[in-house]
Amino acid sequence: MNSLVRLAAAACLLQAALASAAEPPSQPRALALEDSEAVQYPSGIRLSRDGRLVAYAFMDRIYVVPAAGGAPRAVTVAGSSAWDPHWSKDGKSLYFLSNRSGTSQLWKLPLDGFGEATQVTTFTKGIKQLDFSPDESRLLLQFTATDLADPGKAPAAGAAASPAAARKPWVVTRLQMKEDAGEGYLTGDRAEHLCVLDLATGKLAQLTSGEYDESEASWSPDGRQLVFASNREADPDASYKTDLWLVAADNTDQGKSLQRLTDDDRVKGSPAFSPDGKRIAFLVADDGVYGSPQIAVMPAAGGEARVLTAPLDRWINQFRFSADGQWIYFAYENLGGTQLARVRPSDGRIEPVAEGDQAIGGFDLAKNGAIAARVETGNRGAEVYSIGKGRLTKLTSVNEPFVNSIALGAKESVSFKSPDGTEVQAFVTKPPGFVAGRRYPTILHIHGGPVGQFAWGFDFKPQFFATRGYVVVEPNPRGSTGRGQDFVRAIYQTWGITDYDDLIAAVDYAIAQGYADPDRLAVTGYSYGGYMTNTVITRTGRFKAAATGAGHSFIAANYGHDIYQKWYNWELGPPWQNREKYDRLSPLLKASEVTTPTIFLGGREDWNVPLLNAELFYQSLRERGIATELVVYPGVHHGGWPPEFERDYLERVVAWFDKYLK
């Protein structure tokens, strides 16, 4: 290019830059229903063994990004789904799961830029997870007896069961007779057993058997043993109890010579060997409903277990041993956030690692101490971060373009006291363009569970409500996991009683702050949040409209009809012995007190909270002349709804609230 051409090109570039600078920046637009799937979540965060690279799955592809920062690059092709990445021992390849051959199978991809991914497994039913032996020669899998009868080869994509098979009757003999999410009635041998696949020979060895489910198994450092959790009581369907067991990785008797490590009524899970193989750490809780999981350690050969994290008194989600075994890193829930800390097994010393207005959704720990995690901060979408010296360094910006393009409502954490003096935390989301001193129509949004919490990060539902001009109040009442064990267990046998006071206190707080309009209040929730919505409208007429999604209403009618027989028996006893407890907790029996216009919504195939609950309450309000609607979504369960149904749900709820509040 000659000098005149270069000067002309430079002049054009300068002119374009000046014109661009003169243009006002594009204004963020309002959030729309079509944006419901816009924010996505990186998953399967995995650090390479040297801690230099981070692999993760996002939007059906596997990506790799330097842990020190840099541009992420996709390593799997578009057009086929890939997830759950695992680094090879030498760091030169990535294993991952993909359904590109029709079912979920193991694939291996070289990262040197030469060669395509190759398929490693060909099981008929596919595989669910990746867990390699320390030397990478074997793969730990779980299959049912039916799967093991004909492991075969993967069927062609789209292969369907014969119509005749669908017409066979269900024959049920188990106490736990149902599951949701497509399972339906539980018949036959559904127990999953541990198996080990030799990758060199393709030989599959079954290590356990019987009518018991094994879960959360992990390898010993020498690859000779596996530790796992299992409920092997006389009837596992009747108890939450689980214990830890050892099985030899070369076992040939299908688990008849298991070694039992624990034997008490507590719930145990997620066992992991220390790097030297001398200890086993695991999560333990006093019960399977309200028990806050804590980290415990015990000798690998068996013996007394010590609980390490009881002084913290928080709900712990996951943990990892440091490479030298001197520390155990763990994530725990706290006041609407998820923090990272570590505990020293030798003396129980607990130290913070990462704190703040954040929700850590999963983390990995490399041998050199590097940490990578999926993190949601403030009101933002999830991203991959590295964590070091108490600081978070963002490695991806997968959700930034979308979040920056929309007008977000401000999200803040608040704290207040319930009538009995109990401190309660909540999130408040205000409309975009919020004007101080103005009172807004306000939605009380109640979370499900009940054991769970609203947390930091982007959440489409409250943001959509806020975009439509509502203040959204999201309390974490008693029963939530962001405080201690007593706080979680406070709703034992008092569903809708103890936590009701906390929910109403949250609304009163928002009114006292001057931004919630006491004459324009609505209430909504899904699952346990739907149950609490049903409860709220039977106890007060303050709310001008209600929308209840998949909420229980008549508890006794659900005994044996939904999936919670174990919970009911544990907490309430059988209804023919304790009917007064069931009736006390059933909002349907107080339907005569309801004056609030209410819309009921649910999935036709929901066995978690069957549609019967909505039908009963709808019919009762309709009979009394209270404004009500019943919306039934065909072919869907409690969760996993298609986007078009999710959007229809929200659109109907907002239209219902607009009708009665605006």
Question: What's the confidence (pLDDT) of residue 185?
Answer: 86
Question: What's the confidence (pLDDT) of residue 159?
Answer: 39
Cβ atoms of 151 and 127 within 8 Å: the answer is no
* Lookup: tokens for 158: 């789209």
Tell me whether residue 275 is in a domain: no
Question: What's the confidence (pLDDT) of residue 170?
Answer: 86
pLDDT band at residue 370 using 50, 70 and 90 as cut-offs: very high
Mean pLDDT of 569-593: 97
Give me the number of domains the chain comprises.
1
pLDDT band at residue 6 using 50, 70 and 90 as cut-offs: very low
Which residues does residue 445 pair with via DSSP β-bridges, in sequence order? Answer: 524
| Model pLDDT for residues 319-345, shown as the tens digit of each residue | 999 999 999 999 999 999 999 999 999
Sheet holding 279-285, edge to edge: 267-273, 279-285, 294-299, 306-307
| Model pLDDT for residues 239-293, shown as the tens digit of each residue | 999 999 999 999 877 767 899 999 999 999 999 999 999 999 999 999 999 999 9
pLDDT of 89 above 60: yes
Question: What's the confidence (pLDDT) of residue 211?
Answer: 85
| Model pLDDT for residues 537-568, shown as the tens digit of each residue | 999 999 999 999 999 999 999 999 999 999 99
Return the C-alpha torsion angle 372, 375, 378, 380, nearest 10. Answer: 120
Question: What's the confidence (pLDDT) of residue 150?
Answer: 62
In 3D space, the residue among 631, 474, 620 whose CA is nearest the CA of residue 550 turns out to be 631
Cβ atoms of 298 and 322 within 8 Å: the answer is no
Q: For residue 595, what is the DSSP state?
A: -
Mean pLDDT of 514-538: 98
Alpha carbon distances (Å) from 222 to 225, 248, 331, 369: 8, 11, 27, 22
pLDDT of 9 above 70: no
Cβ atoms of 229 and 271 within 8 Å: the answer is yes
Mean pLDDT of 583-592: 97
Mean pLDDT of 83-99: 95
Tell me whether residue 357 is in a domain: no
Question: What's the confidence (pLDDT) of residue 151?
Answer: 64
Tell me whether residue 245 is in a domain: no
pLDDT of 439 above 80: yes
In CATH, what number is assigned to the domain containing residue 530?
A: 3.40.50.1820
| Model pLDDT for residues 191-235, shown as the tens digit of each residue | 889 999 999 999 999 999 888 889 999 999 999 999 999 999 988
How far is it, in rounded angstroms, from Cα 559 to Cα 176? Answer: 11
Instruction: Kindly state the percentage of the chain with pLDDT values over 70.
Output: 93
Tell me whether residue 158 is in a domain: no
How far is it, in rounded angstroms, from Cα 201 to Cα 138? Answer: 10
What lies within 8 Å, CB to CB, of 118 at 6+ separation is: 107, 108, 109
Beta strands 383-388 and 391-394: pairing type? antiparallel
Q: For residue 132, what is the DSSP state?
A: B
How far is it, in rounded angstroms, from Cα 336 to Cα 540? Answer: 27
Return the C-alpha torsion angle 33, 36, 38, 39, nearest 10. Answer: 140
Question: What's the confidence (pLDDT) of residue 166?
Answer: 61
How far is it, in rounded angstroms, from Cα 309 to Cα 45? Answer: 25
Question: What's the confidence (pLDDT) of residue 652?
Answer: 98
How far is it, in rounded angstroms, from Cα 361 to Cα 338? Answer: 8
| Model pLDDT for residues 142-193, shown as the tens digit of each residue | 988 777 766 654 333 333 444 445 678 988 888 888 888 877 888 877 788 9
pLDDT of 7 above 50: no
Tell me whether residue 636 is in a domain: yes
Which residues does residue 598 pair with via DSSP β-bridges, in sequence order? Answer: 546, 628
Tell me if residue 539 falls in helix, strand or coil: helix
CA dihedral sign, ordered 376, 395, 386, 62 = positive
Residue 22 C-beta-side C-alpha neighbours within 13 Å: 6
Tell me whether residue 473 is in a domain: yes
How far is it, in rounded angstroms, from Cα 593 to Cα 591? Answer: 5
In 3D space, the residue among 335, 638, 648, 654 whose CA is nearest the CA of residue 474 turns out to be 335
Question: What's the confidence (pLDDT) of residue 1?
Answer: 38
How far is it, in rounded angstroms, from Cα 450 to Cα 461? Answer: 18
In 3D space, the residue among 407, 405, 534 whose CA is nearest the CA of residue 468 turns out to be 407
Where would I find the H helices in 141-202?
Answer: 145-149, 163-166
Q: What pTM was computed for the model?
A: 0.92
Tell me whether residue 161 is in a domain: no
What lies within 8 Å, CB to CB, of 12 at 6+ separation is: none
| Model pLDDT for residues 102-139, shown as the tens digit of each residue | 999 999 999 987 678 999 999 988 998 899 999 999 99
Question: What's the confidence (pLDDT) of residue 152?
Answer: 58
DSSP string, 232-255: -SS-GGG----EEEEEETT-SSTT
Tell me if residue 216 falls in helix, strand or coil: strand
Where would I find the H helices in 490-611?
Answer: 498-512, 528-539, 555-558, 565-571, 579-584
Tell me whether residue 254 is in a domain: no
Mean pLDDT of 465-482: 98
How far is it, in rounded angstroms, from Cα 625 to Cα 623? Answer: 6
Tell me if residue 454 falls in helix, strand or coil: coil
Distance from the Cα of residue 133 to its chain's centroid:
27
Tell me if residue 550 falls in helix, strand or coil: coil
Identify the domain containing residue 604 by its residue range: 406-661
Q: How many CB atoms lie within 10 A of CB 69?
A: 10
| Model pLDDT for residues 601-635, shown as the tens digit of each residue | 999 999 999 999 999 999 999 999 999 999 999 99
Mean pLDDT of 524-534: 98
